[in-house]
Amino acid sequence: MKTFLYRGVPVIGFAAYSGSGKTHLMRQLIPCLVSRGIRPAVVKHAHHDFDIDYPGKDSYELRKAGADQVLVGSAQRWAMVVETATSSEAELTDFLQRLVITDIELILVEGFRDQSFPKIEVHRRSLQRDLFYLRDEFIIAVASDDVAMHKSDLPILDISDVDAIANFLASYRAAAIDL
């Protein structure tokens, strides 16, 4: 099985077309991983301009006034918004290097489907989209709502069996750190 470690932490992605349910699946998987004692981090790719703040908030107004970086923090959490000078698409490693990986045991990635790192393909038959695993050697498993349609040597996981997918992720993590 292909594995990818970033600074000793296993990384695995979820690749799919928009509307396939990547975020929904990840929202279900994270509590399952946490219940197994695995502390995950998430890197989510956005294909469009996005903003996590809004007009009227001090942090938004400071950034709009010209600050290239605004860090907002409290005792419970902190967030940093950074304006970039480039309009070129970022690589996954550009974001991985910004993670604080202290105590993180698995990095889940949503998006970056065209980059070369291990991924689980999320496939919904109703979307009638092409399958990535037929042409992407970095797809290491498929989570689908129609397990029977997939003829592959890859693990084919029922997308509604979140526990089985969490088990797969736990096994991936264990195999990656045992290398």
What CATH number is associated with residue 153?
A: 3.40.50.300
Domain count for the chain: 1
Residue 126, pLDDT score = 87
Residue 13, pLDDT score = 97
Mean model confidence pLDDT for the chain: 92
Residue 109, pLDDT score = 97
Q: Which residue has the higher pLDDT, 48 or 13?
A: 13
Give domain status of residue 77, yes or no.
no
Give domain status of residue 127, yes or no.
yes
Residue-number span of the structural domain to which 99 is assigned: 5-48+90-177
Give domain status of residue 54, yes or no.
no
Residue 53, pLDDT score = 79
At 88, the pLDDT band (50, 70, 90 cuts) reads confident
Q: Each residue of 41-61: pLDDT tens digit? A: 999 988 666 777 788 888 889
pTM beyond 0.85 = yes
pLDDT of 69 higher than 80: yes
Q: Note the helical H segments in 36-78.
A: 58-64
Give domain status of residue 135, yes or no.
yes
Give domain status of residue 116, yes or no.
yes
Residue 139, pLDDT score = 97
Beta bridge partners of 142: 121, 156
Give domain status of residue 66, yes or no.
no
Give domain status of residue 152, yes or no.
yes
At 29, the pLDDT band (50, 70, 90 cuts) reads very high
- Work out the average pLDDT over 19-48: 93
Non-local (6+) Cβ contacts of 67 within 8 A are 83
Give domain status of residue 65, yes or no.
no
**What contacts 24+ positions apart, CB below 8 Å, involve 25-31?**
25/122, 25/143, 25/159, 25/162, 25/165, 26/108, 26/110, 28/162, 29/108, 29/162, 29/165, 29/166, 29/169, 30/108
Q: Each residue of 117-159: pLDDT tens digit? A: 999 999 999 888 989 999 999 999 999 999 998 888 999 999 9
Residue 52, pLDDT score = 78
Q: Which residue has the higher pLDDT, 54 or 98?
A: 98
Q: Which residue has the higher pLDDT, 74 or 161?
A: 161
- Work out the average pLDDT over 55-69: 89
